[in-house]
Amino acid sequence: MSKRDDHSDKPRVPENPKPFAPFGVARSERIYHSPWCGLRRDIVRLADGAEREYHVFEIGDAVAVVPVLPDGRIVLIGQYRYPHGKTHWEIPAGRLHEGEDPAEAAQRELREETGYRARRLEPLPGFYPSNGITAHFAHAFVALDCEEVGALELDDTELLTVKTFTRAEIGLLLDSGRIEDAFAAISLMYWLRRSS
Amino acid sequence: MSKRDDHSDKPRVPENPKPFAPFGVARSERIYHSPWCGLRRDIVRLADGAEREYHVFEIGDAVAVVPVLPDGRIVLIGQYRYPHGKTHWEIPAGRLHEGEDPAEAAQRELREETGYRARRLEPLPGFYPSNGITAHFAHAFVALDCEEVGALELDDTELLTVKTFTRAEIGLLLDSGRIEDAFAAISLMYWLRRSS
């Protein structure tokens, strides 16, 4: 066991790893582009000069929001997802609109997908959902003191229901593996850690 | 506050939401296919008969592994990721090989990316990293009683270093936002919850 173990006083936040020198890009082939997503095939140059193929998906950055009511309960949405066909519990989330600030997008997605508005919005740690294949990044927030302000405002491809859960129920949903959406699992666990 | 709040005895795991009827697929256009990834554009049929475009990225399923040493320390890898260019702390992870069982892939990735082998492997909750755009799924595991068995075995596009951390340090890395890779953040938080 190292000197700085679980029982030590105030361990410091460890440093990030020393960065590797980035690959060079020998050339880049555009496979697809649309307003919604893109795909390119880069030929990268390694440190020894060798060239390798690297596919990169292009997806606009997103927000994810944990909506918390004044009594501490958490609002989830039961959402249908076409790619895998399941309906499961998630949190409000979506892409940033053109020129939109992440906090503004968080309030908008919260409003559209739950009908709630947050009196306070605080950042949670953000994340790269699949950094082996895309630079797509998610900004996460907790929306505190949420109040119901109106009906849902959904696109016609969005199918969802809204339900509130206690913290204990959120813990059970997580630990039983029922929060299969990564955006929801990460953000809910960060919130449970921060508010415990 | 509902009757079943944080202070209730043994709340039950809440049910999954009632599933929505899946969209029909009017037609599907293949945009790209390679051994590494694919992209298609489906025209889906909504319940009211309207047709909408839906892009789906195709990425093979993956594994993510939290390596734990006999003394409880956790092994992280400092990995360079070409899509965003950063080097940050992650856990061993990768795609399943053709016909490979997830547990077998977890042992293989652990071995290749850290040089450790697990005496015991236990499943953690799995997750869909980006279920709005892909059915890509990650099977997560905790690798217990890891022992060092050899050198790293990396592809030439994999740049990484290996380092061990205490549980307290992992908590600090998480809460300070330094675990930006979703696979690592989710799996590490599940492990901290289970082992606390």
* DSSP line for A84-121: T--EEEE--EEEPPTT--HHHHHHHHHHHHHSEE-SEE
Ranges for all domains in chain A classified under CATH 3.90.79.10: 62-194
Separation of CA B133 from chain center? 16
Ranges in chain B annotated CATH 3.90.79.10:
62-195
| Pairwise CB contact (< 8 Å): A57 & B80 | no
Among A19, A169, A186, whose Cβ lies nearest the Cβ of B14?
A169
Distance from CA of B79 to the nearest CA of A (A): 8
Contact B119, B110 (CB under 8 A): no
Between the CA of residue A93 and those of A73, B120, B146, what are the distances in Å?
18, 36, 37
Chain B residue nearest residue A164, CA to CA: B2
Quick: pLDDT tens for A73-90. Answer: 999 999 999 999 999 999
| Cβ A107 vs Cβ A144: under 8 Å | no
Tens-place pLDDT, residues B39-67: 999 999 999 999 999 999 999 999 999 99
Residue with tokens 């919260």: A110
Pairwise CA distance, residues B37 & A58, whole Å = 13
Mutate to test the interface with B, among A3, A12, A13, A156 (most CBs of B within 10 A): A13
pTM value is 0.94
Inter-chain residue contact B166 with A6, CB threshold 8 Å: yes
Q: A53-62, A116-125, B128-137, B156-165: which range is least confident on average?
A: B156-165
ipTM of the complex: 0.94
Instruction: Give the span between the Cα atoms of A154 and B20, in whole angstroms.
Output: 15
Cα–Cα distance, B105 to B93 (Å, whole number): 9
Q: CA-CA distance, A39 to A37, in Å (whole number)?
A: 7
- Residues of chain B neighbouring A4 (CB-CB closer than 8 A): 166, 168-169
Correct CATH for A62-194 of 1.10.10.10, 3.20.20.70, 3.90.79.10, 3.90.1150.10: 3.90.79.10
- Token pair belonging to A121: 């919005």
Q: Tokens standing for A70?
A: 């004044």
- Percentage of residues in chain B with pLDDT exceeding 70? 95
Is a pLDDT exceeding 50 seen at residue A151? yes
Tell me which chain A residue has its CA closest to the CA of residue B179. A127
The CATH number given to B62-195 is 3.90.79.10
Residues in chain A closer than 8 A to B194 (CB atoms): 175
Whether B117 has a pLDDT exceeding 50, the answer reads yes
Q: What is the 3-state secondary structure (H, E, C) of B76-131?
A: EEEEECCCCCCEEEECCEEECCCCCCHHHHHHHHHHHHHCEECCEEEEEEEEECCC
Q: Which residues contact B93 (CB under 8 A, 6 or more apart)?
A: A132, B62, B63, B64, B65, B109, B113, B138, B183, B184
Strand, coil or helix: what is A159?
A: coil
User: Angle at CA B67, nearest 5°, toward B105 and B161?
Assistant: 90
